[in-house]
Structure 1
């Protein structure tokens, strides 16, 4: 298949690109001219790469006819004081333009990457603008599926983790803090329950969806293990496995406003397709720690 991937230089996107190449797919990526491509350094010569600040989408689709699928993983969070307009541009307008041109060039289907924080959301304040724009684009996806007859698959991810994620992400922050033996970590009581899913299992789920030939024009899949543990359990396991001296101060921080206290995936639809998660949590944590140690976690580069 000929597959276009957005967000390919990021954590999830880079893992997807490498898996697609291993399966002998032709891969096209969209990035910015200033994107850090370190995660793809070993495969850059195997892919077609376009800087979207230099090329129009029209030109890219003209040069690569008969694209079979788009996997959209690019996203903009609101962790660093980004402007509202910047978040809307990245999370709504850009993928909307991509969806428009995909229908024009008769792309078979569009896989959108969504988040668990929009599931039964009751006003969760953390990443509020990010969540709003993700919901807005999803509504556009539903409209295109109904009117333009492109298959739109929405993947609602639970708490993904793995090696070489951004330092600002919870799991990476905890693991690196423990590896560095920081003096102490101020934490909430940690009773929030999350469905942690390892990156390899996420990638295999996308691969399963790519193989589906017949489905409704709009489909939605929850992607996780259908099992939860508390945030406290995750942190304590990392602390134990790393043999860290860091002092964990649970309860020194308050929960966020309208905190999501439990989230897990109903992954029955994916299991019906033949997918299953294979990496237990403790094994996944060990894999991340080993990779970070081998890479040199003090030299880790934020994308």
Structure 2
């Protein structure tokens, strides 16, 4: 089976790439010329790579017989707040790959989405707009699957993400970290459980309708404060900590969702279930395991 993977150097993309290569799939990895490949350097000689900023996407489909397309490319708008750039990545690029997938009659196009409501920010709106087009084009020969992921975490995530930022602050033993009250609840899902869910979807492609949507998380939510305290407790087993966690010092962002949880019943019906506890996931991050 040949899998075309966008966002192959990113957090989720890199884990999917490693899994598919180790499972014996032929992998075509899309990236930019400027992409940092540190997550997949050991695998580059085992995959076919293309730089999407120097080549036409349609050429790739013309050159290869592709079975499954997985779109993980994402611009969260953290570093680049330019709206047009966010739309180019999250909507226009995804739409180009979707159109090419349909024209090439690939078996399935699997998109990575968010459980955030569409009007929370530019990121969520641009992701939702791609889903609008996915639904509009879902009467074609290619099966279109949308995976809405809750709060994923694990080793090798971006250093500017909240969990890694928090850990780095704690390791430096700074005096105080200002936080929200932390009573908002999130469904934390470990990266390897996410990869296994994608594999389960692929294994069941023939059972799925032309358009399907899955919510992906652990299926239970905990307060962010509790998650932070678990990190603090586990790290304190490795080094002495004196940092004060100043809960309530920061206001919530506008339109903050206070309880996000994924409905994973559809995935469970396909035989999938998360296996990694939050405690073990945190230990893996702190131990640098991946």
Interval containing the TM-score (normalised by the shorter chain): over 0.9
Instruction: Give the structure-1-normalised TM-score.
Output: 0.91
CA distance in structure 2 between the aligned counterparts of 1:87 and 1:35, rounded to whole angstroms:
17
* Counterpart for residue 218 of structure 1: 211
* Counterpart for residue 271 of structure 1: 268
CA distance in structure 2 between the aligned counterparts of 1:269 and 1:181, rounded to whole angstroms:
43
1:266 match: secondary structure: coil
Is 1:208 aligned to 2:203, yes or no?
Answer: no
CA distance in structure 1 between the aligned counterparts of 2:172 and 2:27, rounded to whole angstroms:
37
Residue pairs, 1:34-49, within 5 angstroms: 34-49=34-49
Residue pairs, 1:37-116, within 5 angstroms: 37-64=37-64, 66-116=65-115
Question: Structure 1 residue 176: deviation in Å?
Answer: 2.2
Task: Give the direction of change, closer, same or farther, for the CA distance of 1:4–1:83 in structure 2 (3 Å limit).
Answer: same
Aligned Cα RMSD in Å?
1.3
Question: Structure 1 residue 77: deviation in Å?
Answer: 1.3
* Counterpart for residue 191 of structure 1: 183
After TM superposition, the runs of 4+ consecutive aligned structure 1 residues lying more than 4 A away are none
Q: Confirm or deny: 8 A CA contact 1:178 1:238 kept in the other structure.
A: no
Question: Structure 1 residue 179: deviation in Å?
Answer: 2.4
142, 156, 161: which is aligned to 2:148? 156
Unaligned runs of 5+ in 2: none
Question: Structure 1 residue 178: deviation in Å?
Answer: 1.8
Q: Confirm or deny: 8 A CA contact 1:144 1:150 kept in the other structure.
A: no
Count of matched residue pairs: 285
Question: Structure 1 residue 88: deviation in Å?
Answer: 1.0
* Counterpart for residue 241 of structure 1: 234
Question: Structure 1 residue 245: deviation in Å?
Answer: 2.3
Unaligned runs of 5+ in 1: 296-303
CA distance in structure 2 between the aligned counterparts of 1:214 and 1:227, rounded to whole angstroms:
27
1:150-170 Cα deviation digits (max 9, x unpaired)? 211000001000011112212
1:256-280 Cα deviation digits (max 9, x unpaired)? 1111100111101000100010001
Greater displacement, 264-273 / 238-247: 238-247
Greater displacement, 84-93 / 187-196: 84-93
2:95 match: secondary structure: helix
Instruction: Give the structure-2-normalised TM-score.
Output: 0.95
Q: Confirm or deny: 8 A CA contact 2:80 2:86 kept in the other structure.
A: no
Question: Structure 1 residue 82: deviation in Å?
Answer: 2.5
1:30-88 Cα deviation digits (max 9, x unpaired)? 11111100000111100000001111112211221x20000100011112343111111
Question: Structure 1 residue 214: deviation in Å?
Answer: 2.1
Q: Confirm or deny: 8 A CA contact 2:32 2:53 kept in the other structure.
A: yes
* Counterpart for residue 287 of structure 1: 284
Q: Confirm or deny: 8 A CA contact 1:115 1:158 kept in the other structure.
A: yes
